[in-house]
Amino acid sequence: MKPRSGNNNFDPMIDDPENYKLGIFYFNRRDKRAIVPKRTRGTGWTVNFAHPYVILGSIGIVAIAIIASVMENW
């Protein structure tokens, strides 16, 4: 196992503020990962909103919420 160096800047794409929309939504077309670590290490994961699967999933979630709301009021 390779020991971890003291360099905490192991992913410059995550740390680049240009890759965030409104300062909180990670959006990077060059990053092929759908799920990426959060900017603050050790606090979890987030999604890359530029990834096609994330876009489709987001549309699906919104569509389900709209359909459920319409069906409830029907």
Tell which wins on pLDDT, 57 or 10.
57
Domain for residue 7, yes or no? no
Domain for residue 6, yes or no? no
pLDDT on residue 3: 44
Of the candidates 47, 52, 42, the one whose C-alpha atom is nearest the C-alpha of residue 19 is 47
pLDDT on residue 40: 86
pLDDT on residue 41: 80
Q: Give me the domain span that covers residue 59.
A: 12-73
- Cβ neighbours for 20, distance < 8 A, ≥ 6 positions apart: 26, 27, 39
pLDDT on residue 9: 53
Domain for residue 58, yes or no? yes
pLDDT on residue 71: 92
Q: What is the pLDDT of residues 22-69, one digit of tens each?
A: 999 999 999 999 999 998 888 999 999 999 999 999 999 999 999 999
H/E element holding 47?
Answer: strand 45-47
Number of domains in the chain: 1
pLDDT on residue 1: 45
Q: Give alpha helix (H) positions in 1-74.
A: 12-15, 52-73
Domain for residue 2, yes or no? no
